[in-house]
């Protein structure tokens, strides 16, 4: 019984997993970790908002967006 094909699949899976987690780990190592309070604030275009800026969208808008993504 020849296990060469199985060894290729296992080796490729190991290499792919190592590549994915290696690139994620490398990017984590070289990023800036200093987090400022302004980082989490929403960006505004300079126009003062009126009322509550957090509002809920209707379900119809979600359906349009879903159809757009499906047929785009």
Tell whether 58 is covered by a domain: no
**6-24 pLDDT, tens digit each:** 999 999 999 999 999 999 9
- Whether residue 7 is contained in a domain is answered as yes
9 lies in some domain: yes
- Split into its structural domains, the chain has a count of 1
Residue 2: the pLDDT is: 74
DSSP-assigned letters across all residues of 1-15: ---HHHHHHHHHHHH
Distances (CA, A) of 23 to 3, 4, 28, 34, 46: 30, 28, 8, 21, 38
Rounded CA-CA distance 2/5 in Å is 8
Residue 67 counted as domain residue? no
Work out the average pLDDT over 49-66. 78
The boundaries of the domain holding residue 15 are 1-32
């Amino acid at each position: 019984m020849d296990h060469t094909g199985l060894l290729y699949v296992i080796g490729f899976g190991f290499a792919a997993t190592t590549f994915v987690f290696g690139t994620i780990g490398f990017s984590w190592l070289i990023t800036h970790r200093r987090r400022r309070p302004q980082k989490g604030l929403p960006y505004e275009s300079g126009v003062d908002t009126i009322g509550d800026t957090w509002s809920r969208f209707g379900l119809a808008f979600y359906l349009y967006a879903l159809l757009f993504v499906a047929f785009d």
